Amino acid sequence: MTNLAVSATDLSLSLGHRQLFHCEHLAIEQGAFVGLLGGNGVGKTTFLRMLLGLQKAHYHHLDVLGKPCNEGNAAVSYLPQLKAHSSRLALCADSLFQCWRPRHVSRKQWQQRIDYAIDQVNGLSLAKQAMDTLSGGEYQRLMLAQALLNEPKLLLLDEPLVGLDPNRQYRLVELISHFQQDLGVTVICSTHELNPFINHFTSVLLIHEQLLRQGKATELLTSDTLSELYHCHLHVITHHGRQHLIAHPDSDLYV
Ligand SMILES: Nc1ncnc2c1ncn2[C@@H]1O[C@H](COP(=O)(O)OP(=O)(O)OP(=O)(O)O)[C@@H](O)[C@H]1O
């Protein structure tokens, strides 16, 4: 039995004639909280879609939760990037989630899962409100509940903090951290909002100059590595025992 949530060798991801990145060797341990980082357009969303079996890639092998990736896997959940059109849903979450009941799960069991997932995101008061009337942050919490319905072992999150105020950003990260630490869910999270996550990631995937690189958070979340990744001066500082990222965008050293 493998203890890897994702493993790959000689992996290349392209769109049309454009190569997004190559990676010799990838091994994400089960239970990890992985930050997926890189500038705009480097291929983070495409990488997550590949793990869902929605995007073709070239590889020697690519397994997700011990199964070939192209077969798909019901134990993988996905929270897509919030885009303006995502919220045009007149249904409330409670009704919407009931539409997604798998055939092998009874109505009663499914309702229990819905109640549990909504409770986990503290969304009880929102679940009967039409989705298209929710604020961005409320909508995002319920979409996170949706991602929990199938009791995932691997949770793929694409910029989950977009549109959230600072307080809700930190609260959502605590919630995701709870799924990872207490429920043992492996989390891979693409984000440009580093501060709320920087003390939680256990490992990091960096996409830079068409290479996908993996390392421990302590090794890669450094001032030098992040400055090179985003082409601007960034400083990782420690304050009251916690790390913080500070930007100096007016510097002319990285252009
Ligand atoms: N269906 C498609 N056809 C052609 N090009 C695409 C397609 N989908 C995405 N791309 C391009 O592939 C590149 C990678 O896109 P992707 O959405 O994976 O980037 P990203 O790293 O998630 O970016 P961001 O941080 O801006 O969300 C982008 O340049 C994008 O324009």
Q: What is the ipTM of this complex?
A: 0.95
Report which ligand 1 atom has the smallest distance to the Cα of 38: 21
Task: Assess whether pLDDT exceeds 90 at residue 253.
Answer: no
Q: If you take atom 9 of ligand 1, which residue's CA is the nearest one?
A: 46
pLDDT tier for residue 164 given thresholds of 50, 70 and 90: confident
Closest C-alpha to ligand 1, atom 5: 15
**pLDDT number for residue 86:** 54
- The pLDDT of residue 120 is 85
3-state class of 104 per DSSP?
coil
Which residue in 171, 163, 127, 169 sits closest to 145, CA to CA?
A: 127
pLDDT of 226: 95
Q: Residue 10 pLDDT more than 60?
A: yes
Residue 232 exposure: Cα atoms within 13 Å on the Cβ side: 11
The model's pLDDT over 122-158, given as tens digits with 9 standing for 90+, comes to 889 999 998 888 888 888 888 889 988 988 999 999 9
* Ligand 1 atom at minimum distance from 47 CA: 18
Using an 8 Å Cβ cutoff, are 201 and 221 in contact? yes
| Residue 43 alpha carbon to ligand 1 centre in Å | 6
Q: Is 10 helix (H, G, I), strand (E, B) or coil?
A: strand
According to the model, what pLDDT value does residue 85 have? 47
Tokens of 123: 């969304």
Is the pLDDT at 94 greater than 80? The verdict is yes
pLDDT tens by residue, 181-227: 998 999 999 999 999 999 999 999 999 999 999 999 999 999 999 99
- For atom 6 of ligand 1, the residue with the nearest CA is 15
Residue 255's pLDDT is 44
pLDDT at 95: 86
Q: Cα(47) to centroid of ligand 1, in Å?
A: 10
- Verify whether ligand 1 is closer than 6 Å to residue 38 (CB atom): yes
Query: Residue 153: its pLDDT value, please?
Result: 95
pLDDT at 83: 61
Among 14, 15, 159, the mutation site with the greatest number of ligand 1 atoms within 8 A of its Cβ is 15
Atom 25 in ligand 1: residue holding the nearest Cα: 40
The pTM of the full predicted model, rounded to 2 decimals, is: 0.90
Decide: 44 in ligand 1 pocket, CB within 6 A.
yes
Q: Is the pLDDT of residue 18 over 80?
A: yes
- When the pLDDT of each residue in the chain is averaged and rounded to a whole number, the result is 89
- Phi first, then psi, for residue 15 (nearest 5°) are -125, 115
